Amino acid sequence: MCVRDAAASGRALLLAELDDYAPFDEREREMTEQLRAFVAAHDDCFERTMSAGHVTGSAWVVERSLRRALLMHHRKLERWLQFGGHADGDSDVRRVALREAREESGLENIVLAREAIYDIDVHPIPARGGEPAHLHYDVRFACFADPKETLHPNAEAHALAWVELARIEDVKIDDSVRRLARKTETLCS
């Protein structure tokens, strides 16, 4: 299968999954509609060169007990976030999420908690250097990891930490991470 066919197939699969996805709240429903419209309108939605925005993949990493989440303190954004990043042409957003989580944490044994999309977020990225301001259309997946495995943060992180979900407000997070944390109990259902 050529790259163009793979991207078209990936777009079709993502659109079908978005049709089946049940957003957590009204804000996430709006972002899901934004993502759906963006993917439907742009053949190159997985490419970083799409200057208006692009699809990204993220991983919400928790321990199997669901008591703690692994967060990274992002060097550029100066806040605690889930792992994730650019698809760089890869239309398999699950693979992107797992790749980014493994690269950013140094953990090798991160696995999907479930196959289904866990969360959708659309957020602005400020202009930086020669890159204009744009949107990240983030498709997020819940993942499990073992907190006993040694962490090896990459250059994007100031630090990594297992954070108790009951105390997640003690660290600097944004509303999307709050939503990820609130959804964690649904992993049991």
Give the pLDDT band (50/70/90) at residue 5: low
pLDDT above 70: residue 4? no
The CATH number of the domain where 114 resides is what? Answer: 3.90.79.10
pLDDT greater than 60 at residue 25: yes
**Residue-number span of the structural domain to which 59 is assigned:** 3-188
pLDDT surpasses 60 at 1: no
- pLDDT for 7 equals 62
Q: Please tell me the total count of domains within the chain.
A: 1
pLDDT digit string (tens) for 51-98? Answer: 899 999 999 999 999 999 999 998 777 889 999 999 999 999 999 999
Do 119 and 180 contact (CB within 8 A), yes or no? yes
Q: What is the structure's pLDDT at 2?
A: 47
Spatial separation of the C-alpha atoms in residues 185 and 134, rounded to whole Å: 32
Segment 19-24 mean pLDDT = 95
pLDDT digits (tens, 9 = 90+) for 128-186: 888 889 999 999 999 999 999 998 878 777 889 999 999 999 988 989 999 999 999 88
Report the number of secondary-structure helices (H) and strands (E) in the chain: 4, 8
Which pLDDT does position 178 carry in this prediction?
94
